Amino acid sequence: MKIKVAIIGSGNIGTDLMIKIIRLSSSLEMSVLVGINTNSDGLARAARLGIETCATGIDGLVKMPIWKEIKIIFDATSAKAHAYNWEIIKQFPNKKMIDLTPAAIGPYLVPPVNFLENLDVPNLNMVTCGGQATIPIVAAVHQVAKVHYGEIVASIASKSAGPGTRANIDEFTETTSAAIEQVGGADRGKAIIILNPAEPPLVMRDTVFTLSEPADKERIRQSIHDMVKAVQSYVPGYQLHQEVQFEDIPESAPVFIEGLGHRHGLKTTVLLQVRGAGHYLPEYAGNLDIMTSAARATAERIVAEGLCNPN
């Protein structure tokens, strides 16, 4: 029996997630799409697909007869809206929240890195698109050597950055930087986002820099390749754009890291590309696709682990 789910947010991310669940999931049943704009394309599309809709936000959702059957709620709104939504949903202890906003109320979750550490948590935060793309790489290096510093640069097509993304730029950098440390394992993390105005739009590109203790380069390379395969299991368009690059930083010429002082060791550079699946969003919107794909994978893993009772 499939687990019934609801999505709050009828914009690009919520609508793409809805399509993914309908087309791809064998364990999730798309039950309700929730928005606040009665004229949104997402709500109209859901209605055409026979999915129940609600245009009065979380307050309307909890009054619907189907609410008691819903076990997992995805929040694809904004950081500010999520804070309000969670105040309502946390009153229902038998429901799981998967947060696709940078609100970071619940613990950070990157599926191939720390899912098992958060089995019983009611509110899971999917960090950010840049975090989902790059934190697995920082964690892959950390599996081999202590990481002093991790820096990520996420470049996304300007056309793929809607009002929600643009309103949450500060939250993006703060949330991603914190997750690089807390999930990726770096002593210090930094995140940068670039909105690329190029026409035609370019697919998502991510650059990951780490400075770690000296270590076997081939072990790090293999760890990174293994992690890329793990992410590809739910985001097929995720791939290395170039082979992993290394640079030795000698003790005689260390680099200065704010908050840590001077450090030497091994610099690892990883260049990534994320192409979307094109379910609802354009292929260049890999930044949005990786969020919806990671959220779906998380919900399916929750079901597979028996953490949701359909009754």
52-71 in b/e form (b: 16+ CB < 10 A) is bbbeebbebbeebeebeebb
* 22 HSE (CA, 13 A, CB side): 19
- Active-site option among 127, 129, 161, 203: 129
Name every residue whose Cβ is closer than 8 Å to that of residue 65 and which is 6 or more positions away in sequence.
none
- Region class of 57: left (phi > 0), else alpha (psi between -120 and 50), else beta: left
Cα–Cα dist 123/148, whole Å:
29
How far apart CA 162 and CA 104 sit, in angstroms, is: 20
Write out the H or E segment, with its range, that includes residue 114: helix 111-114
Q: Rounded to an integer, what distance in angstroms lies between the CA atom of residue 296 and that of residue 28?
A: 9
For the question of residue 308 being annotated catalytic, the response is no
Instruction: Please identify every residue annotated as catalytic.
Output: 129
